[in-house]
Structure 1
């Protein structure tokens, strides 16, 4: 996995402000829990496609691999009212683009992630006894899915994306892709002491 250790401090710093800020009802990333009405055991399901955010909110590892801005993130979710809040679970499918770590060709892939998170009710025991960066809160009976999906995607991203498992990368001498070179491709290693003589012979002097 990539990014889980190196990016957690950054994402946690964003989480306390992003997850618990006032949600925008117009955003497809916002889910209302009002119909659950704090009745433990009440459930609802939700299928939704939301455009991937960009800029500071982009999902992925910059310069390595990530979810293209505006591409569709398909979510299949279940929300259940429990005593301390709303438990959200399900899956999300995201498209990925990046660069092969061996040959530098473009990489296009798809990732399915599993989601599971408790969103605490205001004034609940969980809300009062945990830090805001440990468990997210419901804000105005709504859930913001953005950070939840981002965290899950980043944790499951490959450390070194590959265009294919058997990619041989680039020739260290000429920089060409091994896949495009003949089987007998190679580079003659000439003793530098003979280099000047060979150059003179080649020029016909």
Structure 2
């Protein structure tokens, strides 16, 4: 049995019975998106209530961890706490056919060994709570798209943009003599 599995044998056939689960476990790998996530092995705090109901075991509570990653605009480091609410129904094996008939996507089955693996539930909840495009702050100006300069360091930073239709004339003008220098030499 791992840190993210729970034995529910004591709850079987005893509706109304409940167990409190409060533990800190190492976070599994891949609780992340491309730029941000919960580092593997970091503390994952679980505060859960497992309640026996006629259909199975209803798990409610919270899961908390420290998120770290990079801002999607300026690539600065981001760290903040994340807490998600957990509510999941696990069906008893004999109720599996009834659950299949109902086609309830939110219901998971309790294996025959009567241990619940919390990792898939936590992965679904925690990864979906992470921002797709994380930012260090709402108004982060990011990096210059031309040179990668950090825009926050100099908000006036810019590159002169020439209209591409005139770019060829710029090269022609560079090869021509300066009109001011030619008038001085003729006098």
Q: For this structure pair, what is the TM-score category when the shorter chain's length is used for normalisation?
A: 0.7 to 0.9
Instruction: Give the gaps of 5 or more residues in structure 2.
Output: 179-187
Q: Following the alignment from structure 2 to structure 1, what is the Cα–Cα distance between the partners of residues 26 and 63? A: 12
Q: Any idea what SS the aligned residue of 2:152 has? A: helix
Q: Does 1:138 align with 2:115?
A: no
More strand by share: 2
- 2:120 matched residue in structure 1: 147
Q: Does 1:59 align with 2:36?
A: no
- 1:122 matched residue in structure 2: 93
When Rg is computed on C-alpha atoms for both structures, the one with the higher figure is 2
Specify which structure has the bigger relative contact order, considering alpha-carbon pairs within 8 angstroms and separated by 6 or more residues: 1
The count of corresponding residues between Structure 1 and Structure 2 is: 168
Give the root-mean-square deviation of aligned CA atoms: 2.3
Deviation at 1:148, TM superposition (A): 0.5
Deviation at 1:107, TM superposition (A): 2.0
Q: Following the alignment from structure 2 to structure 1, what is the Cα–Cα distance between the partners of residues 23 and 67? A: 18
Q: Following the alignment from structure 1 to structure 2, what is the Cα–Cα distance between the partners of residues 129 and 138? A: 14
Q: Following the alignment from structure 2 to structure 1, what is the Cα–Cα distance between the partners of residues 67 and 28? A: 13
Instruction: Give the gaps of 5 or more residues in structure 1.
Output: 1-24
Q: Select between 85-94 and 138-147 the one with higher mean Cα deviation.
A: 138-147
- 2:14 matched residue in structure 1: 39
What does the per-residue CA deviation read over 1:49-75, in whole Å, with 9 as the maximum and x for residues that have no partner? 111112xxx2122x2222111111111
What does the per-residue CA deviation read over 1:73-118, in whole Å, with 9 as the maximum and x for residues that have no partner? 1110001100111100100012222221111222222211011111
